[in-house]
Structure 1
Amino acid sequence: MNPFRRLLFAAGSVLLGTAAPAQRVTPSPELRDFSEQRIRHQKTLGLTLGGYALANIAVGSIAAGQASGETKYFHQMNVYWNLVNLGIAGVGLLGSRKADAKGETLAQAVRRHETMKQILLLNVGLDVAYVVGGAYLRERSQSHPDKSDQLQGYGKSIMIQGGFLFAFDLVNYVIFKNRGDKQEVKLISAGPMGVGIVVPIK
């Protein structure tokens, strides 16, 4: 972020901060709707990821016990990977249950919206790294014949899981951005004393 954008962002934060007491007492219907949409989306993310994780754990646990070689390790990694996904989904759902649209100020709502976008975008980058890491494990199996099945199975699983998460995070980022950014701009533009500052954020 260049100095000019930093200045705009700081100025916007100050203006939003001055609006906080009023927003805290009587949040507008538009602000509540903005916050509620974010909270609903977070719940949907958690439920979708949690359901996907449970399905993978169930199938992987059964299949790993009936398979051998590369396939066995593939299903094992699916289980391990989705235990982590299940934990992440649980934390996300817990956070969304505690969220309260009625008590959010404009500054808090905007900050949480932007934070959610940043998290999803960061996840997209991590997902690409997962796919590359899985491909590396498969390549490494060529020079480790004694662990070939394990590396091939784990690598394939990580590539598939990373690919799913890449699509999942990217689609949700686009939805979150397209739906929320327009509302955010209107809310900020309708700030105190008719002053509105819009800072372009990816």
Structure 2
Amino acid sequence: MNSIGQYLITIGAFLLGNIATAQRVTSANTLYDFSHQRIRHQKTLGLTLGGYALANIAAGSIMAGQTTGEARYFHRMNIYWNLVNLGIAGAGLLGSRNVKPGDETLAQAVRRHETMKQVLLVNAGLDVAYVLGGAYLQERGQSRPDKREQLEGYGKSIMLQGGFLLAFDLVNYFIFKNRGDKQEIKLLSAGPMGVGLAMPIR
């Protein structure tokens, strides 16, 4: 082989090596960003839900002592409901505290992203059930004069809390989907020399 042929082979190998190295670095950076964005969003979810819960507990505690009848039951249920919300928010924040974006593989990052979307959708379905349950309690209060104030107060509170959670879960689902899915597709399609993977994304 002449010197020109050897030179061209050497240059070609050098360029291909640089392209592959650059692709690996770009993919690693994109994976880090993808994981970091999800973890940060999960922390924001916990802080938002926790703040909402604390505000409801504080307001409910004050108002329950200053009102009577149906309104008192309404504020009491707000307290009970948001004690649960506070626990959920705290557990979520604790769970995300030890997760580091640089420690995730592509498979782990994709699985956790998809799981988060599924959890939000399941929660949204439960939220609809809460709203319907609250409406049922209100209706039930009409046929139970002895329990009317309690049932209607509790029913209104559950409808309010369920409605908030429904909006909260759906908004965050679409944020995860619209922002995260684009990164996920890029990561899955960024294989060596443009050879990628394809998978269905809900």
TM-score (normalised: structure 1): 0.85
Q: Is 1:153 aligned to 2:165, yes or no?
A: no
Shift of 1:63: 0.6
Aligned to 2:129: 129
Q: Which residue of 1 aligns with 2:76?
A: 76
1:27 Cα shift? 7.3
Partner of 1:201: 201
Question: Does the Cα contact within 8 Å between 2:181 and 2:201 map onto a contact in 1?
Answer: no
Residue in 1 that maps onto 2:63: 63
- Aligned residue pairs total 178
Offset of residue 66 of structure 1: 1.2
What is the root-mean-square deviation of aligned Cα atoms in Å? 1.5
Alignment deviations for residues 47-66 of structure 1 (CA, whole Å, 9 cap, x no partner): 00000000000000111111
Q: Bigger relative contact order, structure 1 or 2, given CA contacts below 8 A and separation 6+?
A: 1
The secondary structure found in structure 2 opposite 1:170 is helix
What is the distance in 2 between the residues matched to 1:49 and 1:195?
A: 41
- Structure 2 distance, partners of 1:38, 1:153, is 38
Percent pairwise identity = 77
Residue pairs, 1:1-202, within 5 angstroms = 28-191=28-191, 194-202=194-202
TM-score with structure 2 setting the length: 0.85
Deviation track 1:74-130 (CA, whole Å, cap 9, x = no partner) reads 000000000000000001111111111111000000000000000011111111110
Instruction: Output the CA distance in 2 between the equivalents of 1:186 and 1:175.
Output: 17
Cα distance in 2 for residues equivalent to 1:62 and 1:77? 13
**Whose radius of gyration is greater, 1 or 2?**
2
Give, in whole Å, the separation in 2 of the partners of 1:31 and 1:95.
20
Structure 1: give runs of 5+ residues left out of the alignment: 1-22
Deviations 1:122-159 (A, max 9, x none): 11111111000000000011111110000000000000
In the superposition, relative to structure 1, how do residues 192 and 122 fare at CA in structure 2: closer, same or farther (>3 Å)? farther
Out of 152-161 and 187-196, give the one that drifted further.
Answer: 187-196
What amino acid maps onto 1:181 in structure 2? D
Q: How far is the alpha carbon of 1:195 from its aligned partner?
A: 3.6
- Structure 2 unaligned segments of length 5 or more: list them: 1-23
| Residue identity in the other structure for 2:99 | A
